[in-house]
Chains A and B, each alone.
Chain A
């Protein structure tokens, strides 16, 4: 967790993360789905029964495995992309819109992580920033009385302030005192969790007279408009996600600030020498990162789940880290990764109800994907792929490749 002496490591890590081939990403997804299949087979009672007499009739085991895995992944596909068994055309395409719905917070939150990763910082505080954004937006949504349109804008603005505040704190502490942003953001996650728990016990955030820790519903005029009519949950927050992807791309890749941000991320010492204010970049990056997480919170309370509860953040704050890593810290990569994880989530719910496979398998698949993507040499080793640029920087890896070639 030290800052200065780790330049070469950060360099190498980001190069591996950003410079790895798309091949590795695809193979990582394949391996992760295979790992998930193994777990599904182990957990399936039919498979375990058949495996009990494996040597008598080995075919039965494979049929049972096929049925369990095929059933689970088939349901996941039907829940995430398109449902051929549906009764109407609208029902058949509903799953893909659900994927988009689930991907919105993942994309927005993932973009926030992308921003901090590109500046060489780890914002683990997505959970807290999302909670603060959701709290601010929800409060503006159910307690203010404003005209249509303006009300939604005020809610989104409130989310920006809430999330931004929770990103600004670790930013200013890091810039002023050198406090490690990983620790500060983890602590702020806990503080935010307690803060929302407390807020929901107060009069300001609770339905009058209700014993439940749940806010009044956000007013209808403060919700993102539905894009495809009332039959679908997809709303304009998806457009916001696209706009923010373009905005983050422009900010990081085209703007002056983006250049400073990337320079600080690659080599803070060089950035300082070149006259870039590292402190300014640190504070602004973490604040903007928090703003994007706040928007993710707004996409929940002003969209799919228009009340504030303690579970508003679900696990989006942590999912966002895996989304950004899978997206290789590129805005459009994050967008695609958000769509993929959104599909896993949408499909996971149908899989759970249709085939009884718990949705938690999605967490396993996601984390295996990210582990493999973070370590391209491992994927190359599994598939015996050649190592690009071996020996230039890392003699050990080159030696390993030679051993592989000899084996």
Chain B
């Protein structure tokens, strides 16, 4: 997980030798060796294709020990290359980290499934991982927009929850799930109005506002859930599900098809939003203004940018994005609204954004890491896992702690974050 270099430091004569990537690679290699030594069975069966695919690929049986050795060699090779980069005082390219990560995850799956008669459902795991990542990605995009404009958005959790609530309610009342996709961002936006009011107008510490807004939204949604909604559940809280919109042909490609192209409108929207944000944030006038307000509001003000207005509008935009992501919990997954169903996802989205270095691309990668590791943990706990699922679930949090402590990659927040601008 090497953070993209957004920091432009003064041209130093010699960049310090950074041992982070080689260190991570060495750890991955060592763990793979441990897995290879302790492998409990001879082979692992991976299920690759589904019956609806264009052409079927038979289940793949991987010889466990050989597979692990190959993966160990791959991780070791990547480590050696990264050592050469480190000695040359250069940053290792992204693909080295990817090779290390993929080798380790695949190796772990081979190890966990070795000697079992049950198949490892690879496609289902990927699809489930993406599904769990959807609210995280929306939340992380919300964080990227808000923080780049200088407003810390701890209230992502509350915005997700509000979006889930209103999305479910409107979809249920109208009977049209797609209308929930309009209601959910509005709910997030309403939370954003409070965030902007207190953060931008009244200069209250944004972390405090975020924490308190989360409590407020939990209180409000719990209250209305246990009163109005349950009094009339079949009208106000009936289950609605966004229809799957498979893209012809693309949706039938094995592995990629079911994961990427047999999704709901919400997921397609997510793809579009991520790409648009990545380009606009760094390549458009809107993005430049947004970032200048988040980096140096006084300078932005001097060249005629209305700092307060920019912060208001983009905080609202970010909050609406998080609200839209909240729709995943209810209409996105075909569930009725339940108390506190965002379950800490907003905080994980925040972590994904930081791990991704305040960059849409990186945040998506981190959110996917969190979503996949959680899905792997869930899958393994149902098919039986040699490692307690709780420890697998801890990995993303531990990685985030290591990241903010600077072990994984240097990340720098926007400079004027959590600083009210007073003219």
Residues of chain A touching chain B, judged by Cβ–Cβ distance below 8 Å, are: 1-2, 5-6, 9-10, 12-13, 16, 39, 42-43, 45, 122, 124, 173, 176-180, 182-184, 186-191, 194-195, 197-198, 201, 318, 321-322, 325, 357-358, 360-368, 370-371, 374-375, 377-378, 394-396
Contact = CB atoms under 8 A, between A and B. Distances in A.
Which of the listed residues A178, A183, A394 has the most CB atoms from chain B within 10 Å of its own CB?
A: A183
B419 interface: yes
Contacts of B388: 198, 201
What class of interface size applies to chain B in its complex with A?
A: 35 or more
Interface string B397-423: 110110011100000010111111011
B375 to A, nearest CB: 16
Contact of B207 (A122, A357, A377): A122
B42 to A, nearest CB: 29
B187 to A, nearest CB: 16
B419 A9 contact: yes
B118 interface: no
B218 A179 contact: no
B418 A367 contact: no
Interface in B295-331: none
A6 B228 contact: no
A363 B222 contact: yes
Contacts of A191: 394, 397-398
B209 A371 contact: yes
Interface string B141-157: 00000000000101000
Nearest to A364: B219
A321 B418 contact: no
A88 B419 CA distance: 56
B176 interface: no
Contacts of A370: 208, 212
Contacts of A325: 208, 212
Given A2-B418, A12-B203, A190-B397, A361 B223 contact: yes
Of all A-B residue pairs in the complex, the 9 with the closest CB atoms, nearest first, are A363-B219, A43-B227, A360-B222, A367-B216, A364-B219, A198-B390, A375-B202, A358-B226, A179-B405
Given A2-B418, A43-B227, A368-B216, A13 B398 contact: no
A335 to B, nearest CB: 20
B404 A179 contact: yes
A289 to B, nearest CB: 16
Contacts of B227: 43, 357-358
Contact of B351 (A13, A187, A378): A187
Contacts of B398: 187, 191
24 contacts: A1-B207, A2-B418, A13-B204, A16-B204, A43-B227, A124-B207, A179-B404, A183-B354, A183-B401, A184-B401, A187-B398, A189-B347, A190-B344, A318-B215, A321-B208, A325-B208, A363-B216, A363-B219, A367-B216, A370-B212, A371-B194, A371-B212, A394-B422, A396-B422
A42 to B, nearest CB: 8
Contacts of B397: 187-188, 190-191
A168 B354 CA distance: 22
B350 interface: yes
Contacts of A13: 203-205
B179 interface: no
Contacts of A178: 406
B400 A183 contact: yes
Contacts of B416: 5
A6 B419 contact: yes
B226 A363 contact: no
B183 interface: no
A384 B352 CA distance: 43
B219 A362 contact: yes
A39 B216 contact: no
Nearest to B227: A43
B351 A183 contact: yes
Contacts of A361: 219, 223
A183 B203 contact: no
Contacts of B219: 360-367
Given A360-B219, A363-B215, A179 B207 contact: no
A177 B406 contact: yes
Interface string B206-245: 0111011111101110111011100100000000000000
A2 B198 contact: no
A357 B219 CA distance: 12
A364 B198 contact: no
Given A190-B394, A194-B390, A371-B213, 4 more contacts: A12-B203, A176-B405, A322-B215, A358-B223
Nearest to B215: A367
B203 to A, nearest CB: 7
Interface in B96-136: none
B405 A177 contact: yes
A363 B224 CA distance: 13
A178 B403 CA distance: 11
A396 B405 contact: no
